[in-house]
Amino acid sequence: MANLRITTTRMHFGLNFIILIIVSSIYGNHTLDSGKANKSSTSNGSPSSPSSNASANQPVAALSLIPDEEIAHFVNQSRITTCKFSQPDVRLQWRNPRNTIVSDTKGRVHIEEIGGALLLVFESIVRADQGSWTCEADAGGTVLKKSFKMIVNEPISFRDTSTVQTATEDKDATIRCEVRGHPEPSVSWYFNGQPLFPPNAKYTALADGLLVKKVTKNDSGEYTCKAFQVSSSGSSFEEKTIRLNIKHKPYFQKPRGGYSWGNVTYGYVGGAVNLTCDAVAEPPATFTWSSHNKKFSHKNHLIFSGPHVSMLQIVIKNSTAFGKYKCEAKNELGTISREIQLREGTKPDPPSRFQLRGVNSDTLDIDVGATKSHDVDPDHSTIIGYRFEMIPTEEFAKHRNWDRAHRRDFDVEDGVTYLLVHLIPDTRYLIRVAARNAAGLSDWTEVKEFTTHPLQPHGFNSGASGPDANALLFLRLLTALSSSLLSTVVKLKF
C-alpha cells in the first residue's frame, strides 16, 4: 500500500508540473503576442499620443488558478494548484478554509514559488482539507482573490471488524461492523445469503454493527455487512463477511444411523465394543469416562477423542466388563452426563452366502444373502450390516497381513447385492466379509479371490460374467423401491 501511495503521489506531482509548464508557456506566448500586437498597431496605424501609448501598454490585472475547477479527491491523494498574477512583482499568498495563511514551505500542505507563480501543494489529502482555498494578490493596495473548492471523499473501509466473532447463547450480541467513508455509506445486512430487514424483534442496526437479541445456536452462521456509497464522483460498493460462533453449553446429539437402542450397547465375551459419546459444545467440551465412580485414563484405557465426540473401547475379557459406564461432557458454560449400559449380546454368525454376481473393470458385485425383516423390529441379535475388506493379491503377498486392506461398511438391505466400486482394472483382489449386529462383528468368511476386467472403452462388460452397470443400478433401485412399498403395506395392514 505504501508503494502504491508513493507512486500515486509522484504521478499527481508529475501531472501538475506538466500543467505548470504548459501554463507558463501560454503566459509567455501571451506576453510575446501582446508585444507584437502593440508594435504592429504602432507601425501600421497613426501615431498615438504618449498617454494613449501608456494606457495601451499597461497590462490588465488578472489573477488565475490552474486548475480552478471544483475537483473531488479521495483521502491520501495529492494535488498541486498554481496561482499566478498577470503583473510581476506582486506578492501572492494562500489561505486555507479556516482563513489562515499557508506559510509552510515543507510538509503535507505547503507552498512553493516557481517562476513568479505560487504553488499550493497537497502531498497527502485528508478529510480536514475540504473547503475553499483562496489565493490573494496585493496589487498596489488592491487585494484580488480567487478560490477553488476542495471536495474530499473517503472510500469505504471497515474498522475493527474481525471476520470471526463470538456470542453467548441466551444473551444479546453485537456483530461489529464499523463502516467508515464520506459521503457516509448506507449499510445492509445478510444472514447466510438471505437479506435481513432491521429493525425488528430479532435484529437492530447500530452505527457500529448489528444487534442480535437473545442469540441461540441457530443464530450461528455467516453475516454479511454490505456498504454502498454514492458521491459526485461516482458510486462504490464493499462487503465484509463475518462468521458468528455461538458459545453454548454441551448437548447430546441424536444417535446416527438407522438402528438405535437408546443408552444400551451390546457386546460379547471375547469381543470389543466402542462406547460413543457425541456432545456438541462451543467452546468444545472435554470428555471424561467413569464406571462405579472410578475415572478412566488414557494410560489404562483406549479413549479416542475428536471434534465433539469421545469413544471408549472396552475389550470384553469376561462378564465383569458388562455394566454401567458414564460419559461426562463439560465446558465453561455447563456440564452434561449420560449413562450407557453395556449388556451381553450374541455374537453373529458369518454370512452363509458369499459369491460374485457381476464384475467389470472397476466394480465387483457381491451377494452375501442379505435379508431384512419388515414384520418385526430388529433386536440386538438381528443382522444390521456387513463389513467388507479387500486387498490386491500382490500387495497381500508382500506383507502377509490385512493391515493395508480397504474397508467398506454397508447397512443391511433386503435381498440386494453390494457393489465394491472404484477398484483397479485387471487386478486380482482378496476379499472377506463379516456380518454385524448390535453386539459387534462376526468372524470373517473364508477369503475369496476375484479379478476385475481390463479397462473397457465402453464401460461395463455385458457378457456372461454379469450384468452391466446400468442394469445393476436399476436392479438395486427397483429392489429398494419394492422393499419400501412392502414395508408401507405391512404397516397399513397391521
CA count, 13 A, side-chain hemisphere, 53: 12
Calpha distance 145→64 (Å, rounded): 9
Overall average pLDDT of the 345-372 stretch? 92
Output b/e per residue, 13-52; b: 16+ Cβ within 10 A.
Answer: eeebeeebeebbeebeeeeeeeeeeeeeeeeeeeeeeeee
| 361: its cell numbers | 473393470
Nearest C-alpha neighbor of 327 from the set 315, 314, 317, 316: 314
Question: Tell me: the pLDDT tens digits for 282-302?
Answer: 999 999 999 988 999 888 889
- Amino acid symbol at 6: I
Question: Tell me: the pLDDT tens digits for 416-429?
Answer: 889 999 999 999 99
Calpha distance 200→219 (Å, rounded): 15
Residues facing residue 340 across a β-bridge: 325
Nearest C-alpha neighbor of 59 from the set 37, 87, 38, 80: 87
Question: Sign of dihedral through CA atoms 258, 263, 264, 266?
Answer: positive
Residue 387 confidence (pLDDT): 95
Question: Tell me: the pLDDT tens digits for 244-274?
Answer: 999 999 998 876 555 556 789 999 999 999 9
Q: In the chain, pLDDT over 70 holds for what percent of residues?
A: 77
Instruction: Give 5-50 as a DSSP string.
Output: HHHHHHHHHHHHHHHHHHHHHHHHHHHHHHHHHHHHHHHHSPPPPH
Question: Tell me: the pLDDT tens digits for 321-342?
Answer: 999 999 999 999 999 999 999 9
Residue 478 confidence (pLDDT): 53
- Amino acid symbol at 198: P
| 86: its cell numbers | 498577470
Overall average pLDDT of the 112-130 stretch? 93
Residues facing residue 337 across a β-bridge: 328
Detail the DSSP E strand segments found in 421-488: 428-437, 440-441, 448-451
211: CB partners within 8 A, 6+ apart:
172, 173, 174, 203, 204, 205
| 461: its cell numbers | 462388460
Q: Is 488's pLDDT higher than 90?
A: no
Nearest C-alpha neighbor of 445 from the set 433, 431, 429, 430: 433
Output b/e per residue, 212-242; b: 16+ Cβ within 10 A.
Answer: beebeeebbeebbbbbbbebeeeeeebebeb
Q: Residue 413 carries which DSSP code? A: -
What are the extents of the domains in the chain? 63-153, 160-248, 253-344, 353-452
Which superfamily is assigned to 353-452 in CATH?
A: Immunoglobulins (2.60.40.10)
Q: Is 18's pLDDT higher than 70?
A: no
Q: 58: pLDDT confidence band, cut at 50, 70 and 90?
A: low
Calpha distance 439→418 (Å, rounded): 22
Q: 60: pLDDT confidence band, cut at 50, 70 and 90?
A: low
Nearest C-alpha neighbor of 447 from the set 431, 429, 428: 431
Same fold, 63-153 and 353-452: yes
Q: Which CATH class is domain 63-153?
A: mainly beta
The answer to whether the pTM exceeds 0.85 is no
Question: Tell me: the pLDDT tens digits for 380-405?
Answer: 888 989 999 999 999 999 989 999 99
* Choice between 492 and 59, residue whose per-residue pLDDT is larger: 59
Total residues belonging to the chain: 494
Which superfamily is assigned to 160-248 in CATH?
A: Immunoglobulins (2.60.40.10)
- Amino acid symbol at 408: R
> Phi first, then psi: what are they for 197, rounded to 5°?
-130, 70
Residue 212 confidence (pLDDT): 96
Q: Is 451's pLDDT higher than 60?
A: yes
Residue 461 confidence (pLDDT): 46
CATH classification number, 253-344, choose in 3.40.50.300, 2.60.40.10, 3.50.50.60, 3.40.250.10 = 2.60.40.10
